[in-house]
Structure 1
Amino acid sequence: MKTAISALALCSALLAGYSVAAPTYQYDYTYNGSQLTTNQSAAGNQLSAGQTVGLKMRTLGNDYWASPATTMLWAPIAMQDQGTRIGNLSWTFSLNGATVGSGSYTGQGSSFAHIGNFMNVPTAIHFDELSWVFTLTSSTVATNTLGGLYFAPSPFVNFGGAVPAYVVVPDPVAARIPEPGSLALLGLGLAAVALSRKAKRQA
C-alpha cells in the first residue's frame, strides 16, 4: 500500500511539473462586431522580466473572424511608458474549441509602447478566438506599466494582406428547429385555412 501511494505521489509530482502556468496578468475581451466587452483588470500593473501577459479575444455566439489571405495580425496591449522590450510571444487561433492556426517568436524586440505584435495568420482561416501569451525577458526602461488594448474598440490591425472581416454565421441547428413563436403562428395560419374551407362548404 505504501509503495502504491509513493508511486501515485511521484506521478502527481511529474504531472505538476509539466503543467502550464497561468499568465501573471490576463486580459479577456468579447467582440460583438462593433464593440468590445473587456476585462482589463491587469492594467496598471508592473510587468517584470520573467512575468507573462495573456490575452484572449472571443466573438459572440456563432460569429467568427475570417481571413481571406495570409496576413500579419496585430492585437497588442499598450504600455504606459515607451521603451525597447524584448520577449517571447506564442499565439493560437481557434474555432469551436479546435486549433486552426498557431505560431510563436522568441527574443523579438519592440521599441514601441505596446507588447504582443505581428502574428502570422494562416491563409483563409476562420476563428472565433485568439489567444496569446507574452513573456518579458528584458526592457530598457525601469517601469513597464500595463495599459489596455492598443486599438480598442477595434480589436485588430492588419498588415501585408486583406483585412480579416467580421462575419456573422447562422446557426444551422437553430435554423432547423422552429422557435415556439413560429410554431404558434403556423398553427394559427392552419386554423384560419381550415375555418375558411369550412365556411366555403357551408355556403
Structure 2
Amino acid sequence: MSERKLEVDPALLFERAGLDQGHVQTIVGDALRGCDDGELFLEFCQSESLVMDDGRIKSANFDTNQGFGLRAVAGEQTGYAHASELNEAAFTRAGAAVQAVRAGHDGAMSLAPLATNQSLYPDDNPLGEISFADKVKFLGEMDAYARANDERVRQVSVSLSGEWQAVEIMRADGQRIRDVRPLVRLNVSVVLGEGDRQETGSHGVGDRIGFGTHLE
C-alpha cells in the first residue's frame, strides 16, 4: 500500500460515520475487481460566507457537506455512483451499481502514477481561526475605510468567505491519496457617484491560507 503523507484525521471521514477503513477498502477492491481503472473519492467540506452591505450584515452562512463518488472503468465503459452520505450501506450500493460495466470484461487495474506531490499550502482549517465577531468587525472597518477615502462613495459591499475541504482517494490496489484544501477570499465593491453619474469598482483577493493575512 502506498499513501501520501498528509494529516487528515481519520475521525473526519471514517470514524465519525462509524466506518472501518479496512472494510471500506475491501468494498472498493471488490467493486473494481476485473476493471481497468477506478477509485473511490471521499469528501468532507465546511464553508462560511459573510456579506456586509452599507454597514450592515446582509447574509451569514455556514455549511457542512460530505459525500463520495465511486468510478469504475472497463474498456470503453465507465460506471459512476455517488451519494451525500458516508455509511457502509451506501458504499455497498455504489459498488453494486458500478459493477455492471465489467460484465463480460476481464481487465487488469492500471498502475497508479508515481507520486510527485509537494505541499503548497497549510492544512489548517481557516474557519475557526478568527471569531465571528472579529470577522464582522473587519467588514465594518473595510466599509468605513472605503467611505473615509472619498466623499463620493454611495455604497460599499464587502464579502468574506472561507472553505476547508478534506478529500481522500482510494484505489483498488490499496493506494490512498489525501489532500486538505483551505481557501479564503475577500471581495470589495464600491459605488461612487457625483450628480447623476455613478461608477462601480470592485476588487478581490484570495488564496489557500488562513484569514489572518487578509485581516491584518
Normalised to the residue count of structure 1, the TM-score between the two structures is: 0.22
Structure number with greater Rg is 1
Bigger share in helix = 2
What TM-score, normalized by structure 2, do the two folds share?
0.21
